[in-house]
Amino acid sequence: MGKTSLALHLRRADPTITVLSLETFYLGWEGLAAGPRRAVEQLVEPLGRGEVPVVEPWDWRHDRVSCPRRRPVGSLVVLEGCGAVARPLRDALDLAVWVDADPAERERRLRDRDDWAVYAPHRDSFARQEQELAATAGSRAAADLVVTRSADGTWSTTTATDADEWVRSGRDGDDGRA
């Protein structure tokens, strides 16, 4: 179970939770770095003003920004995805959770996804963007909690520390220091 699965598990536990994917705010396969800033502009700032957010989601099928649409949210919003703990979003977070996985387990999960065939051609580029964002934003170290689910389904949690800033790309099974 990864980021999305954990967020959806929380929503099943409490249907009043609104789960939004940061993928909504990415600008395509090469636009991961834009996601956190766009989430602040289109989600966080309007909520701070007491307004219903108007989101311009990325249309992955047509490779372009979609028409703006109102996105009502509940009192608790879970924003999940790569970059959700990035600097532009940090001040708006009440709790930042980093979902971690062993590179081999992450690779297995990726290949088991229904959308693997769509994602596969972009994997190396996206992994590079994930690493760059984590290295420049210090995402893991900024998390309040690191959650890992083992192959047997048990969860473990630890607190993140600045001394433990690892980026796990899952590519070639490497763990690279950020």
pLDDT one-digit tens code per residue, 36-85: 999 999 999 999 999 999 999 999 889 999 999 999 999 999 999 888 88
Residue 158: beta bridge partners?
146
pLDDT band at 160; cut points 50, 70, 90: low
Strands 54-55 and 69-70: antiparallel
- Average predicted confidence (pLDDT) for the chain: 83
Whole-angstrom distance, CA of residue 102 vs CA of residue 120: 19
Q: What is the pLDDT of residue 55?
A: 96
pLDDT one-digit tens code per residue, 71-85: 999 999 999 988 888
> CATH says 3-177 is which class?
alpha beta
136 contacts: CB under 8 Å, gap ≥ 6? none
Q: Are 83 and 133 in contact, with CB atoms under 8 Å apart?
A: yes
Q: Are 168 and 103 in contact, with CB atoms under 8 Å apart?
A: yes
Whole-angstrom distance, CA of residue 178 vs CA of residue 165: 6
Average pLDDT on 136-147 reads 81
Distant-in-sequence contacts of 71-76, Cβ < 8 A, 24+ apart: 71/20, 71/43, 73/18, 73/20, 73/43, 73/47, 74/16, 74/17, 74/18, 75/16, 76/14, 76/16, 76/17, 76/18
Q: Are 160 and 146 in contact, with CB atoms under 8 Å apart?
A: yes
Lowest model confidence (mean pLDDT) among 31-45, 125-139, 151-165: 151-165
pLDDT at 4 over 70: yes
All structural domains of the chain with their residue ranges: 3-177
